[in-house]
Amino acid sequence: SIRCQSTGTDGPKTRNLLDNASNLLTNFLSGGNLGSMPVAEGAVSDLFSRPLFFALYDWFLEHGSVYKLAFGPKAFVVVSDPIVARHILRENPFSYDKGVLADILEPIMGKGLIPADVSTWKQRRRVIAPGFHALYLESMAKIFADCSARTIIKVEELLERQDLHGGKEIELDLEAEFSSLALDIIGLGIFNYDFGSVTKESPIIKAVYGTLFEAEHRSTFYIPYWKIPLARWLVPRQRKFQQDLKVINDCLDGLIRNAKETRQETDVEKLQQRDYVNLKDASLLRFLVDMRGADVDDRQLRDDLMTMLIAGHETTAAVLTWAVFLLAQNPSKMKKAQAEIDSVLGQERPTLESLKKLEFIRLIVVEALRLFPQPPLLIRRSLTSDLLPGGHKGNKDGYAIPAGTDIFISVYNLHRSPYFWDKPHEFEPERFLAQKKSEGIEGWAGFDPSRSPGALYPNEIISDFALLPFGGGPRKCVGDQFALMESTVALAMLLQKFDVELKGSPESVELVTGATIHTKNGLWCKLKKRSDIL
Ligand code: HEM
């Protein structure tokens, strides 16, 4: 039910030219070294008339779950099968790096975890992952609730003002609100910096958005224009990007300097004893500086913080946006969500304990990530030759790929695969519950619960890689629980107070994609105070 954006490369003439170029390339590449792999004969115009992952879905249904796509001057292998995804992500992960994605992100994130080469990654992941332990997450629950409360207060104030003029509801772009909320949370949680973006604008906030915008643009533009010599000085937009980057880097450098200068043995002891309750600053930066020694390389630390700022911001804002979009079209599920919130929270704020009981809200978040995965494609490049399993309808001997093969794992295709999901395009958070309820077993419907007993959410392990809300294998999202808790708190606190409807039709919400799937013009909603609570 979604209309897609046209990027404007229309017109029959352009299309024919592009199609011819594409066919030539396809023919040329089909004799290449990927053997008997099916080749998508799609036209390049398909790629420009709508988000890429829609076209990849149609070709998946046509060609099977491993196929080759000739795309500009390059060929990509597109994977839509859980076993093949499992092979790349978990069984043979160190034979792959981030390829095109690293080219795009390296100028921004340096050697942060996402673009890092395998050897830097191994070293940094060991240092960073322990920072996301249970007590850290527990202390974050308060930050999630405090920041969400700012958004709630803002909406309440807008409603009060409207009330003075006799109105009972307001219209608001919730995507923009979620973006501010997620920025405030990531700033406080990762480096104890309050952007305060829910209530104000500032040069640093503008610089963050400018940088995100450029990262987004680069990920939809397949020629690395930013590598052209002197471009960073000569092209105005590149100059602006360099300035934005400098503003953020200066801010992060200041925070790192401050964290190092204020390192105190008493705080280190509290951290060692996991006494988070009595710590004034429980951020990840404090952990990295205090627990890992003040001599950690500043440049690396900055890359790590920048990576988490970007990785944890847009993704969370996107999942909240699509969760509301889906709920607004399903009033009975909205009511069910509000009933759960009322019975678990009443009018209280969520705490770690109450959060655990908000199961339906958590499943709404996961179902929103199933239908709108963030990011929709995982990108890899093979460092050595490898043998990929054949996948559904594919060659039973698999496909040999040479070193340097670029791969898209289409999480969007996996999550909407008709071979693994009933009614794959429907929003049905209960799909994860059916078996659990009817058979009285622990786990999630259709999955093998013994693979990950007590899993917090339906994940890649119990689904055997059919569901990858946070990726899988060693490079799985390091902030998965942070993100899940954060989204659950934010969604619960919004629906606790307000009824939300879409302002226009679902079809008018146009969808665009870069690193994440988002709307073209915002998620405009009508909000009013819930009438069914006191
Ligand atoms: C990696 C999704 C929130 C930090 C990933 C990956 C996915 C993902 C799919 C794997 C990428 C790949 O394999 O190529 C999400 C979603 C989020 C979210 C859907 C929100 C709903 C966060 C947050 C943080 C974070 C809040 C930090 C606090 C990272 C980092 C990596 C990563 C550092 C790289 C991990 C590595 O390579 O070791 N995320 N993420 N993410 N995410 Fe998240």
- Could you tell me the distance, in angstroms and rounded to a whole number, from the CA of residue 148 to the centre of ligand 1? 21
Give SS3 for 456: coil
For residue 392, what are the domain limits?
A: 12-124+377-415
Is 83 domain-assigned?
Answer: yes
Give the up-direction half-sphere exposure of residue 155: CA atoms within 13 A in the CB hemisphere: 29
- How are beta strands 524-529 and 169-173 bridged, if at all? antiparallel
Q: Which atom of ligand 1 is nearest to the CA of 378?
A: 14
Residue 202 lies in a domain: no
Asked if 231 and 241 count as a contact pair (C-beta separation under 8 A), the reply is: no
**Is 478 part of any domain?**
no
- Tell me the CATH number at 87: 3.30.43.20
| 514 closest CA partner among 239, 306, 212, 109 | 212
Q: Is the model more confident about 36 or about 369?
A: 369
Find the helix or strand (DSSP H, E) in which 135 lies: helix 134-164
pLDDT for the residue 11:
41
Going by alpha carbons, the residue nearest to atom 38 of ligand 1 is: 475
- From the list 97, 75, 77, the residue with the least C-alpha distance to 387 is 77
pLDDT value of position 434: 58
Instruction: Give the torsion sign (CA, 249, 251, 255, 257).
Output: positive
Domain annotation covers residue 312: no
Tens-place pLDDT, residues 281-328: 889 998 898 876 656 789 999 999 999 999 999 899 999 999 999 999
What atom of ligand 1 comes closest to residue 476's alpha carbon? Answer: 10
Locate the ligand 1 atom nearest the alpha carbon of residue 124 and give its number: 38
**pLDDT at residue 249 in the model:** 93
For ligand 1, mutation pick of 315, 364, 369 (most atoms within 8 Å of CB): 315
Q: What is the pLDDT of residue 150?
A: 97
Give the residue whose CA is nearest to atom 26 of ligand 1: 312
CA–chain centroid gap for 331, Å, is: 26
Q: Is 401 helix (H, G, I), strand (E, B) or coil?
A: strand
pLDDT higher than 80, residue 69: yes
Q: Is 90 part of any domain?
A: yes
Q: Which atom of ligand 1 is nearest to the CA of 308?
A: 27
Reply yes or no on whether the pLDDT at 380 is more than 60.
yes
Determine, yes or no, domain membership for 58: yes
Residue 525 annotated as binding?
no
Residues with CB under 6 A from ligand 1: 113-114, 125, 190, 307-308, 311-312, 315-316, 319, 369, 374, 378, 470-471, 475, 477-479, 482-483, 487
The residue ranges of DSSP E strands in 1-153, in sequence order, are 39-40, 66-71, 74-79, 96-97
SS3 content of the chain, % helix, strand, coil (to 5): 55, 10, 35
Instruction: Indicate the helix (H) or strand (E) that contains 173.
Output: strand 169-173
| Distances in whole angstroms, Cα of residue 90 to Cα of each of 67, 132, 374 | 20, 21, 19
Distance 153 CA to ligand 1 centre (A): 29
| DSSP assignments along 478-527, one per residue | TTHHHHHHHHHHHHHHHHHHEEEEESS-GGGS-EEESSSEEESS--EEEE
Q: Please report the atom of ligand 1 found closest to the CA of residue 486.
A: 26
Q: How far is the CA of 170 from the centre of ligand 1 (A)?
A: 33
| Residues of the chain above pLDDT 90, percent | 57
Domain annotation covers residue 43: yes
pTM of the full predicted structure? 0.90
Q: Looking at residue 14, what is its pLDDT?
A: 40
**How much distance in Å is there from the Cα of 102 to the middle of ligand 1?**
14
Q: How many CB atoms lie within 10 A of CB 310?
A: 22
Q: For ligand 1, atom 1, name the residue with the nearest CA.
A: 477
Cβ density class 91-128: b for 16+ within 10 Å, e for less: ebbebbbbbbbbbbbbbbbbbbbbbbeeebbeebeebb
Measuring from atom 6 of ligand 1, which residue has the nearest CA? 477
Positive/negative CA dihedral, 210, 492, 282, 481: negative
- Token readout for 400 is 């040999």
User: Which range among 192-196, 392-396, 468-472, 499-503 shows the weakest confidence by mean pLDDT?
Assistant: 392-396
Q: How far is the CA of 180 from the centre of ligand 1 (A)?
A: 19
d(CA 312, ligand 1 centre) in Å: 7
pLDDT at 108 over 70: yes
| Tens digit of each residue's pLDDT (9 = 90 or more) over 160-210 | 998 887 878 999 999 999 999 999 999 999 999 999 989 888 888 889 888
How many domains, in total, are found in the chain? 1
Atom of ligand 1 nearest to the CA of 487: 21
Q: Whose CA is nearest to atom 34 of ligand 1?
A: 114
Q: What is the mean pLDDT of the chain?
A: 85
C-alpha 171/C-alpha 173 separation (Å) is 7
Residue whose C-alpha is closest to residue 320's, from 361, 378, 377, 376: 361
Structure confidence by residue, pLDDT tens digits, 13-57? 344 444 444 443 443 444 344 768 888 876 666 666 678 889 899
Q: What is the largest CA-CA distance in the chain?
A: 71
Please report whether residue 71 resides in a domain. Answer: yes
